[in-house]
Chains A and B, each alone.
Chain A
Amino acid sequence: MRSEQEVNRAIEQYSNMIRRLCMIYLKNYADTEDIFQTVFLKYVLSSVSFESQEHEKAWFIRVTINACKDLLKSFFRNRTVSLDEIIEQPSEMSTDDKEVLEAVLSLPQKYKDVVYLHYYEDYTAPQISRILGKNVNTIYTLLTRSKQLLREKLGGDGDE
């Protein structure tokens, strides 16, 4: 079992990332809390020894995505919720950011994590393919299509 210091460090280090992944996958705050508990409990109890920071980060991404998928599988939820409900402090956001996030969230599920991992976490397509366990070419395709979709929604200005 891991020590308290380790866990606190991990929480500080990865909670933002996990929060964003939850936002991509889930639709309400209570579920996000569930995911946090599941993920970090798994971390505390796991005996995986990480080779590097990168390894640890990838582990967290994978565990979070799995936990989210499990949660979604576990009961039927098929409602869309406005962004205000997902994010606790919507008032602090500019309308531009809101617009962008809404555009991302409106993408089909398979594009969302790819978009997040690529644009925010700066993973390359081969890295994403390893994390998500998908073919590299699939990732390229997903990225290209999601780029197109986002451009349509956000009134594409052509910048990469």
Chain B
Amino acid sequence: MNDRLKNAFDKIQAEEQLKDSTKAFIYKKTRGYTRRKTAVYRRLIPAVACFLVIILGGYWLYFIPTVEISIDINPSIELGVNRFDKVVSVASYNSDGQELAASLDIKYLDYSEAVNQILTNENISELLSNDEVMTICVIGSDDEQSDRVLSEIESCTSEESNTYCYYADSDEVSHAHENGLSYGKYRAYLELQALDPTITAEDIQNMTMREIHDLIHSLSSDSNSAADSENDSEHEQIENGTGNMHGQSQAQDNGQWQGNNHGNGQGQGHGNGHGNRQ
């Protein structure tokens, strides 16, 4: 049986064609026997790619805010809240805001805790007791999270008077940062601009929310009432509130107008005189 097996197996030979094709394959695979063994770093490329995707994806998931909470009194600060309801960024939009942001340590806290800390902050409570207005604006694309955040903040601030909470769509206020305003102020600015198109972002920037609110209030009642006298007195109030710039421009306008009058009068006088002599 040994011999029979041996003979039978002996008949099995690798075909020449098989050998040749294998040689050709190896030659091709090694690029003419020049290729080195696949370098380690090339094998790591997919692993590194996956790693990067995870890191970037994780970064995107955690560090890109989905909802912004804009808190304005005069300090304007903005909290970026990620999809896990954690505060991931604190941005300030004026010097008061910078001070406030520096005094707070609210990064990576839950947003409700962060808002509570801000509300209980000394500066803030002092401002609020001085009858300043605080607006808290929740900005997000229209989804369930922003609704939840808004209602949470509303319940947080329900005891405070002078505090207004509202919701703004992110598209609506997308130009806020270009104008150097926080979202909450920008929203007020838009409101104000609808009433008085001459108002600019720079005017708004250093106004407190109380001033802006008063201005909005007065302008809207302005457009509603027909009586002129009321109008004027309110205007004066506003101008005192907004600062010197408006007052100065009005004074200049008045001056020009007076000057024009003067000129006309002189011209007439001269003309008459000549005519009489001839």
Contacts and interface: CB of A to CB of B under 8 A. Distances in A.
B11 A11 contact: no
Interface string A134-153: 00000000000001001100
A8 B30 CA distance: 14
Most buried by B among A1, A115, A160: A1
Contacts of B3: 159
Interface string B27-39: 1011001011100
A22 B74 CA distance: 83
A3 B4 CA distance: 38
A49 B36 CA distance: 17
Contacts of B35: 1
A1 B9 CA distance: 32
Interface stretch (A33-41, A50-58, A65-73, A123-131): A33-41
B12 A33 contact: no
Interface in A1-38: 1, 3-4, 7-8, 11-12, 15-16, 18-20, 23, 32-33, 36-37
A157 B1 contact: yes
Contacts of B13: 16, 19
A48 interface: no
Residues of A contacting B: mostly: helix
Contacts of A115: 5
B198 interface: no
B19 A37 contact: no
A19 B150 CA distance: 75
B23 to A, nearest CB: 6
A119 B5 contact: yes
Given A1-B36, A97-B11, A37 B4 contact: no
A11 B25 contact: no
B1 A151 contact: yes
Contacts of B202: none
Interface residues of B, number: 29
A132 interface: no
B19 to A, nearest CB: 5
A93 B11 contact: yes
Contact of A36 (B7, B10, B11, B22): B22
Given A11-B23, A40-B26, A100 B37 contact: no
Contacts of A19: 12-15, 18
A45 B26 CA distance: 10
Contacts of B15: 19, 88-89
Interface of A: 1, 3-4, 7-8, 11-12, 15-16, 18-20, 23, 32-33, 36-37, 40-41, 44-45, 47, 87-89, 92-93, 96-98, 100-101, 104, 115-116, 119-120, 147, 150-151, 154, 156-157, 159-160
Given A4-B33, A104-B8, A119-B9, 4 more contacts: A36-B22, A89-B15, A100-B5, A147-B1
5 contacts: A7-B26, A19-B15, A37-B29, A100-B5, A101-B12
